[in-house]
Chains A and B, each alone.
Chain A
Amino acid sequence: MREINNKMLQRLYWKRKEFMHAVKRFDRTQQFIVLFLTLLSVFMLLPIVYVFNHAFKPLHELFQFPPTFIVRNPTFQNFIELLSLTQSTFVPASRYMLNSIIVTFLATVGMVATGAICAYALSKHRFPGSKLIFGSIIASLLFAPETIAIPRYVVVQSLGIMNSYFGHVLPMIAMPVGVFLIKQFIDQVPNEMIEAAKMDGTTEFGIFMRIVTPMVMPAIATITILAFQNAWGNAETSTLFMQEDAMKTLPFYMSTLTSNLANSVARQGAAAAGALIMFLPSLIIFLLSQRKVISTMAHSGIK
């Protein structure tokens, strides 16, 4: 343990040294830009700090004026309240959470997998109509989500997947941004590498899994973050396709907490705790895959 700590300290030390060296080589304007960006990033951090503190504030602190930034008497009261709250339909908050976890998991895996496979086919295989398909995927980026809500509803209804996890996952699974971004990366993978794998005896799926995917990990990590955030924060499928309360997800529940006028004051605490719970997984996923993004970018032998 100590050894690891020492190593990390040493590395930090070198990092700092490198950084100072780099800064010294900068001219005035560059130094100013570094300073400015540093301040800006501190400023960007404020909402995160605020969310964390807010969730632990007791009720009176939540309504204090002027509002405080840092919590004085931290308490878990808000979380207890959130969990013990029950909708009029007697569905507990934990049920929403479970739904959210299942839906988010399925949708994220689905989005990344379909996106990557689609991107691979579009990038490395020539088949009639491939350009048209790619073109229409790009074009679909231009539509506002509202414009496709009704057609989507019709599709989901006629598939008979209302009030099921499928109803959550399927509408989300097509992710044009993902296809686009991963395709840009796969385009960079030299054809020879794929041909070499073919000569080595790999199947098409083997090429995709063992050659292409490891090489486009940065893109996949990025898309995983995006997909996760989309799925985790998505209240739309709950509102549109789920009539049964037991099938709805956390974001939907969150939106009901504060919108119901009668209880909106009393539930501020639960809402604050809920906001943190909503936010936390995104942060964790981001931190995890961000490291992956950077390390794969640095380590990938793509020349």
Chain B
Amino acid sequence: MAKILFNHVYKRYGKFKELAVNDFNLEVEDQEFLVFVGSSGCGKSTTLRMLAGLEDISEGEIYIGDTIVNDVPPKDRDISMVFQNYALYPNMTVFENIAFGLRLRKVPKHEIELSVKRAARVLEIENFLERKPRELSGGQRQRVALGRAIVRTPQAFLMDEPLSNLDAKLRVHMRTELINLHKKIGVTIVYVTHDQVEAMTMGSRIVVMEKGVIQQVDKPENVYNKPANLFVANFIGNPPMNFITGRLQERNGVLEFHTNRFALRIQEQHAYQLRNDHKLVDRTVIMGIRPEHISFEEIALQTCEHSVINGVLQINEFIGSDRYYHMDIGFPKMVVARAHPRYHFDEGARAAFALDMNKALFFHKDTEKLLTD
């Protein structure tokens, strides 16, 4: 087991030297479950493949443990990888698939047998060892691919969207299995996904990427509650955070967030930061508020009288435990509230709702960085 370090890593592809990965700096702790998340084409796979040795590093260094691995071939990096389409060898049995790497390393026969059996037991695939991959279900294939990875007890596992070919239910199941597996064998895992739920539930830390640049590296709670910038705020969370553009204005010693339709009173601590640290009074900022911090409760409407907005309900989506209310407040984009499904408004009805201004976030209009915490 070892640390992994990315030091100013760049990747350029093709004739035009487009940057797929841009100045990537990251330290992966020993035994950490680190998740790369980002939209399609943001460079997650490329980064992982550079770490695996399947792709050249254009610039910078990658360390595994204390050694620079830039010029070390994949087989000598002592890491294993699980691919999205499993990439099992179709002509070999499950046993052979798992044993293949050990065979090549000239491990004695009885040890191979032992290790494969042990891995198979952990993953509960003991009964399929003699089958060919085509005779397995998707979930079972997935586990064989994992078995192939864990049997070698490498320094780290790399996984590139290993669950995205499974159906929703199996994916949830495998998610917990992976978390348990990580607990059981305590190995460093670098995991790539574009599914934020996977990222939030599995990662001990999350790396949010966009256009080859790291946007934020932090624990799931922090990424969710204190997104470093607009991109992260928008990317993490479903339905996504609501954004409203407005001006900061001082009135009677209170800082307020003004749009041309309403004004909201900014909570004291945020006001202090915006006023004193950033000096943004009378400037335009972007306010973000999560759907669950919007409330229709009578008590909220009364206590937060300075943050009540009226809107027209356009759509309401029932999803079981909650309901999403899409409210038109006179801006091109609708505000989405997430609340208990008992509030039933007809579509087109007017409703008042309160924003929990303690939870509101403010972003700089130009740099798009988070201004408050």
> What's the nearest-Cβ distance from chain A to residue B90, in Å?
3
Select from chain B the residue with minimum beta-carbon distance to A193. B87
Contact A300–B75 (Cβ < 8 Å): no
Within 8 A of B (CB), among A259-303: 299-302
Question: Chain A contacts of B75 at CB under 8 A?
Answer: 198-202
Determine whether B224 belongs to the interface, using a CB cutoff of 8 Å to chain A. no
Q: A201-B101, A201-B104, A206-B104 are in contact. Are A196 and B91 (CB under 8 A)?
A: no
Determine whether B231 belongs to the interface, using a CB cutoff of 8 Å to chain A. no
Contact B81–A196 (Cβ < 8 Å): yes
| A195 CB contact (under 8 Å) in B73, B81, B105 | B81
Question: Chain B contacts of A215 at CB under 8 A?
Answer: 90-91
- Inter-chain CA distance A210–B75, complex, in Å, is 16
Determine whether A74 belongs to the interface, using a CB cutoff of 8 Å to chain B. no
Determine whether A197 belongs to the interface, using a CB cutoff of 8 Å to chain B. yes
Contact B91–A214 (Cβ < 8 Å): yes
Determine whether A211 belongs to the interface, using a CB cutoff of 8 Å to chain B. yes
Contact A301–B88 (Cβ < 8 Å): yes
Contact B90–A196 (Cβ < 8 Å): no
Contact A199–B80 (Cβ < 8 Å): yes
Within 8 A of A (CB), among B34-73: 52-54, 73
| A211 CB contact (under 8 Å) in B52, B73, B89, B105 | B89
Contact B81–A199 (Cβ < 8 Å): yes
Considering residues A192, A199, A201, A302, which has the most beta carbons from chain B within 10 angstroms of its beta carbon?
A199
Determine whether B100 belongs to the interface, using a CB cutoff of 8 Å to chain A. yes
Determine whether B296 belongs to the interface, using a CB cutoff of 8 Å to chain A. no
Question: Chain A contacts of B52 at CB under 8 A?
Answer: 195, 199
Determine whether A160 belongs to the interface, using a CB cutoff of 8 Å to chain B. no
Contact A301–B134 (Cβ < 8 Å): yes
> What's the nearest-Cβ distance from chain A to residue B4, in Å?
16
Contact A190–B74 (Cβ < 8 Å): no
Question: Chain A contacts of B148 at CB under 8 A?
Answer: 196, 200
Contact B74–A199 (Cβ < 8 Å): yes
Contact B54–A301 (Cβ < 8 Å): no
Bits for A203-223, please: 1 = Cβ < 8 Å to B, else 0. 000100011001100000000
A residues near B, CB below 8 A? 190, 192-193, 195-202, 206, 210-211, 214-215, 299-302
User: Can you give 13 contacting A-B residue pairs, CB < 8 Å?
Assistant: A192-B83, A192-B87, A195-B81, A196-B83, A196-B87, A196-B148, A199-B75, A199-B79, A201-B101, A201-B104, A201-B105, A210-B89, A301-B88
Q: Which 10 A-B pairs have the closest CB atoms?
A: A301-B90, A200-B101, A201-B75, A192-B87, A214-B91, A301-B134, A192-B83, A196-B87, A201-B104, A193-B87
